[in-house]
Amino acid sequence: MSERGTIRVDQFLPHPPAKVWRALTDPDLIARWLMQTDFVPVVGHRFTFRTDPRPGFDGIVRCEVLDLDPQRLLRWSWRGGSLDTVVTWTLLAEGRGTRLFLEHSGFDPDDPLQQRTYALLDGGWRSHVWRRLTKVLDAPPS
């Protein structure tokens, strides 16, 4: 995290912004890299992402399209489990491809941090970290 409560990740994709935009806004394509969804690219549209439920998380992320600028910016709210957050995608043409920026903001910086610190001290931290990292690659943390 570059600042408390916000996660920023970016990646270069060797594909033009128009194509990246398709993968970000076509629900059939979104399902292939994120989750099942009834997303529609219209500001104000309410939609969900669905995955397997887990303790403390019913498997449903409730969202609303907050902002949309085709091939440039897409912002949706992200509410699931104990989270009430905002996800912002920004696309920037770079060479023959696109740099895609993701900002996930609105985390409570104290509560989950505290829990992670405790978990870290209590477990055999190496195996704990690996379990966690491999698990989260497939399902959104709640």
Partner 1 sequence: MSESDVFAALANPTRRELLRLLRDGGQQPVQRLADHFDMRRPSLSEHLKVLKEAGLVTERPVGRQRLYALRPEPLREVADWLSPYEAYWRGRLGALRDVLDELDDE
**In this chain, which of 7, 60, 66, 68 binds partner 1, going by CB under 8 A?**
7
Q: Where are the beta strands (DSSP E) in 3-96?
A: 6-13, 36-37, 46-50, 60-69, 73-80, 83-94
Q: Confirm or reject binding of residue 73 to partner 1 (CB under 8 A).
A: no
Q: Confirm or reject binding of residue 113 to partner 1 (CB under 8 A).
A: yes
Shortest Å, Cβ 40 to partner 1: 19
Q: Confirm or reject binding of residue 137 to partner 1 (CB under 8 A).
A: yes
Shortest Å, Cβ 138 to partner 1: 7
Q: Looking at beta carbons only, is 65 or 87 nearer to partner 1?
A: 87
**In this chain, which of 27, 34, 48, 62 binds partner 1, going by CB under 8 A?**
34
Q: Is 61 helix (H, G, I), strand (E, B) or coil?
A: strand
Q: Confirm or reject binding of residue 120 to partner 1 (CB under 8 A).
A: yes
CB distance 37 to 50 below 8 Å: yes
Instruction: Name the DSSP letter for residue 56.
Output: T
Q: DSSP H helical segments within 35-106, as ranges? A: none
Q: What share of the chain is helix, strand, coil (3-state, %, to 5)?
A: 30, 40, 30
User: At how many degrees (to 10) do helices 111-122 and 125-136 cross?
Assistant: 130
**In this chain, which of 55, 96, 127, 133 binds partner 1, going by CB under 8 A?**
133
Q: Which residues bind partner 1 (CB under 8 A)?
A: 1, 4, 7, 9, 11, 13, 15-16, 18-20, 22-24, 29, 32-34, 100, 102, 104, 107, 113, 116-118, 120-122, 124-126, 129, 132-133, 136-141
